[in-house]
Amino acid sequence: MTDIEHINISGTLKKVLYHNSENNYYIAVLENNQKICGQYFDTDLKKLEGEDLILSGNWETHNKYGVQFAFISLEIKQNEVFFFLTKIVKGFTKKLATEITKKYSQDELYEILDNRPSVLLEFKGVKEKKLTQIVTSWNQFKHLRELASFLGEYGVTKNLINKIFQELGHLENLIEKIKTNPYSLIAIKGIGFKKADEIALAFGIDMRSNFRIKACLDYALREYCEANGNSSISKATLFSALDSSLNFVDEDLLYENVIIEMIGEKSLVETTKDRYTTNMLYFCEKSILEFFQKRKNRQMPNKIVKDFDTYLAKKEENIGFKLSEEQQKAVRLINEGETTILLIGYAGTGKSTSSRAILELLEEVVNYKEIHCMALSGIASQRISETTGYSSSTIQSMLMAHKEKDYFPYKVLLLDEASMVNSITFYQIISKISDDTVFIIVGDDGQLPAIGAGDILADAIKFNLAPLSKLTKIYRQNELQAIAVIANDIREGNIPSYKSEFADFKFVDNSIENYYALKNSISNYEMNGVRNENNYKILNSILNISATYIWHIEQHIKDKKISKALTTFQVITPMKNGILGVENLNINLQKLLNNNNSKGFQSRTYQYKLKDKVIHTKNENMKSLSMTDYKNGSSEFVEKRIFNGMLGMIIKLDFDNEQCVVLYPNDDSVVFYNFAQIEPLLSLAYCLTIHKTQGMEYETALIPMTFTHFIMHNTKLLYTAITRAKNMCYIVGEKEAFESACKKLEITQRETVINDILGDGGLS
């Protein structure tokens, strides 16, 4: 690797101007008005405002921000021990740190903290509880120093060392694990193959070793498949990714040999000629195909009701609604003996009504308690239960509740929002379904596909894997209801009649005057300035509309209807960063919608306060209680799986025990987070990305629309966002951006194992 000569500058940090929480990238300004930029992981850089710094890096010129110093390392000019005691190690006040550093040298203090921490009890304000906090935090810091000493020899920056420690510091023998396999660092968010490879090469690994190429191939495969939604990859795409990451040219033979070795080890599978996938994805999708194939030949022996037309007429009289021919088809399929069907419908076409009719027909031959519904999110699960009248739960809670059993204990299972379910989760479901269970798969193929690898619903429709009932007719009570009509126009790539007056849809125009003429007459830099100025106008409009929901949200909280409070109003945006990105909108909406003035906990990204609306962001086993046990003061915690996407509300912040308590009303869970778990596991949820809201439903949804988000605009994304709204949808922003998004058809097809297998002529 080429060594770059860096220069050092020093100065006092005046103010942080920008922070990207995704990669901890900062832009800040020193007291002398010099701008600095770079990544910093030790602590929130805002905590260092007023501190004297020494920075190493180089000057660069940015199109927007001008001349700034890009630092690769940032050190505190003051006594380093004092800094870490007050900024990193928990339990030290500035007064206590001053007294201790005056009395002991650095070596003496390290020896005391390592071996004789009880000495600190001699200092005023240090009691047993405080000492325990100090010792626990110091031991973590000690391991960080050991890691820094080891990796520092190989040119690993301090910032990267801190990031590695944050993610893996809990592991025993971490240094040995990194020595054995530096590519294990790829598991850390933000560390791709390139950074891990730099460390491995510094260790002296052979550039052409199979170990290195395997690590790169595995990374390329996971990035292309799981990160981008595909479940298989072509040889050409894979080899191109390897060339780029390994800095090789024309090494196809080397790659071929590694592929043969990985296939032999069963870590890689060739799905069809020159296409590959992981063993796990191949097993899951092949098993799903076999499941559908087997059930095509398995039908119920007799019709459920012999005189179907008479039965249907009576049923329609009871439900007060006449089923269309499309809706009747789904019910007829089940009556004729089908044990697996696909019920596919766009927004407003009556999927819930059809689902209810199907389940009520099946109740003629099975017990009510033997019928069960499931969906990926708690809100979707609750909704299908309310609309059908049958019990429901989330997929993950179903899997957890019956993990010791061979099969789910139900005769009828309905899977709702099936477009959201990826290959691995779908396999987990079907592996628990017995041969005599009726399986109804309900979904909307106009929505965004699942997060994760695979596109099971689309493949099932494409390859006719099960009998299909397609609902296309939109139902609405009157001409003033437009959400479903507008959403379906967009799904087809048409600009809807969005400017009319509707009861449930409103476009709030914050357009840039003469947008296209202006865009063609000024520079990109000037146009970015115009867009930013307009984005602030859009932000103000969003806040003005949001303010009208404050009373409703507060009333629901007062009435202890927390689930209602969480779903009354939701802002949904395509991107995380920028003026109209998730982070900035969350900060502004929190100030508006949560007027609680009690002390909050400051993480790197947000300050968390009592009554804040939050979302859990990573599947994790957590310490929890049921709502009843929590109210009764129980301390008999259970470990419960808390899933990515669960919406909750902070009901307690315990600063003495450094705990945040969150109520998840749809899952009957009260979950306890240590303050250290907040940053990686929680986020404010006043604003969410469109992907995060899949499967959710809100009384009112508001969607910003700006050309700043143009890269994310397409029909599927916009259709999905609009159909999250139950009673009212606001689009706020630029009409040109909205119309452009309506015409940008999303036709990308995911590459899947199922497509590979069936494209080759069927199952082998």
> Which tens digit of pLDDT belongs to each residue from 580-601?
999 999 999 999 999 888 889 9
Lowest-confidence segment of 359-368, 378-387, 568-577 by average pLDDT:
378-387
Average pLDDT, the chain: 88
Rounded CA separation 255/253 (Å): 5
Structure-token match 């395509």, residue found: 574
Enumerate residues 6+ apart whose C-beta is below 8 A from 228.
none
Element (H, E) at 20: strand 7-20
Mean predicted confidence (pLDDT) in 197-202: 88
Residue 559 main-chain phi, psi, to 5 deg = -85, 5
For the stretch 651-663, pLDDT in tens is 999 987 889 999 9
Please report the beta strands in 404-504, taking only residues with DSSP state E, as ranges in sequence order: 412-415, 438-443, 468-471
Element (H, E) at 720: helix 715-722
Q: What is the predicted pLDDT for the residue at 88?
A: 66
Given a cut of 60, is residue 2 above it in pLDDT?
no
Rounded CA separation 638/667 (Å): 14
**If you count them, how many residues does the chain have?**
764
For the stretch 98-148, pLDDT in tens is 888 788 887 788 788 888 888 888 888 788 888 888 788 777 777 777 887
Q: Does residue 478 or residue 308 have the better pLDDT?
A: 308
For the stretch 549-581, pLDDT in tens is 999 999 999 999 999 999 999 999 988 888 999
Residue 343: strand pairing partners: 442, 469
| For the chain, percent of residues with pLDDT exceeding 90 | 48
Whether the CA torsion 486, 487, 488, 491 is positive or negative: it is positive
Within 10 angstroms of residue 148's Cβ, the number of other Cβ atoms is 16
Within 10 angstroms of residue 646's Cβ, the number of other Cβ atoms is 23
Given a cut of 50, is residue 469 above it in pLDDT?
yes
- Is the CB of residue 71 less than 8 Å from the CB of residue 24? no
**Predicted TM-score of the model (pTM):** 0.80
Enumerate residues 6+ apart whose C-beta is below 8 A from 436.
339, 411
Pick from 51-60, 157-166, 729-738 the range whose average pLDDT is largest.
Answer: 729-738
For the stretch 478-491, pLDDT in tens is 778 899 999 999 99
Rounded CA separation 492/475 (Å): 18
DSSP strand pairing (601-602 vs 607-608): antiparallel
Lowest-confidence segment of 161-175, 549-563, 619-633 by average pLDDT:
161-175
Token representation of residue 446: 């106009």
Distances (CA, A) of 438 to 48, 296, 410, 502: 61, 12, 9, 41
Given a cut of 60, is residue 762 above it in pLDDT?
no
Q: What is the predicted pLDDT for the residue at 87?
A: 64
For the stretch 678-722, pLDDT in tens is 988 999 999 999 988 988 889 999 999 998 887 778 899 999 999
Q: What is the predicted pLDDT for the residue at 1?
A: 38
Within 10 angstroms of residue 725's Cβ, the number of other Cβ atoms is 23
Q: What is the predicted pLDDT for the residue at 479?
A: 77
Band of pLDDT at residue 154, cut at 50, 70 and 90: confident
For the stretch 510-526, pLDDT in tens is 998 888 888 888 888 88
Residue 683: strand pairing partners: 615
Q: What is the predicted pLDDT for the residue at 396?
A: 87
Band of pLDDT at residue 4, cut at 50, 70 and 90: low
Given a cut of 80, is residue 422 above it in pLDDT?
yes
Given a cut of 60, is residue 760 above it in pLDDT?
no
Listed in sequence order, the DSSP H helices in 410-523 are 423-430, 456-462, 483-491, 515-519
Mean predicted confidence (pLDDT) in 201-213: 90
Q: What is the predicted pLDDT for the residue at 78?
A: 59
Lowest-confidence segment of 119-123, 374-378, 550-554, 727-731 by average pLDDT:
119-123
Please report the beta strands in 280-417, taking only residues with DSSP state E, as ranges in sequence order: 340-345, 371-375, 392-394, 412-415
Token representation of residue 391: 């019990």
For the stretch 62-91, pLDDT in tens is 777 778 999 988 877 656 677 667 766 777
Given a cut of 80, is residue 152 above it in pLDDT?
no
Given a cut of 90, is residue 729 above it in pLDDT?
yes
Closest CA to 430 of 461, 458, 466, 462: 466
Q: What is the predicted pLDDT for the residue at 18?
A: 87
∠ CA 371-288-689, rounded to 5°: 80
Distances (CA, A) of 230 to 14, 243, 513: 46, 20, 41
Enumerate residues 6+ apart whose C-beta is below 8 A from 657.
none
For the stretch 393-410, pLDDT in tens is 999 889 988 999 999 999
Band of pLDDT at residue 732, cut at 50, 70 and 90: very high
Band of pLDDT at residue 618, cut at 50, 70 and 90: confident
| For the chain, percent of residues with pLDDT exceeding 70 | 96
Within 10 angstroms of residue 270's Cβ, the number of other Cβ atoms is 16
Q: What is the DSSP letter of 184?
A: G
Rounded CA separation 730/543 (Å): 12
Residue 726 main-chain phi, psi, to 5 deg = -90, -50
Q: What is the predicted pLDDT for the residue at 134?
A: 78
Within 10 angstroms of residue 264's Cβ, the number of other Cβ atoms is 9
Token representation of residue 58: 């180089």
Rounded CA separation 482/501 (Å): 9
Q: What is the DSSP letter of 636?
A: -
SS3 54: strand
Given a cut of 90, is residue 739 above it in pLDDT?
yes
- Is the CB of residue 69 less than 8 Å from the CB of residue 58? yes
Q: What is the predicted pLDDT for the residue at 667?
A: 83
66 burial class (0-12, 13-18, 19+ CB within 10 angstroms)? exposed
Lowest-confidence segment of 163-177, 263-277, 611-625 by average pLDDT:
163-177
Residue 80 main-chain phi, psi, to 5 deg = -65, -35
Distances (CA, A) of 216 to 197, 271, 357, 358, 409: 9, 20, 51, 49, 43
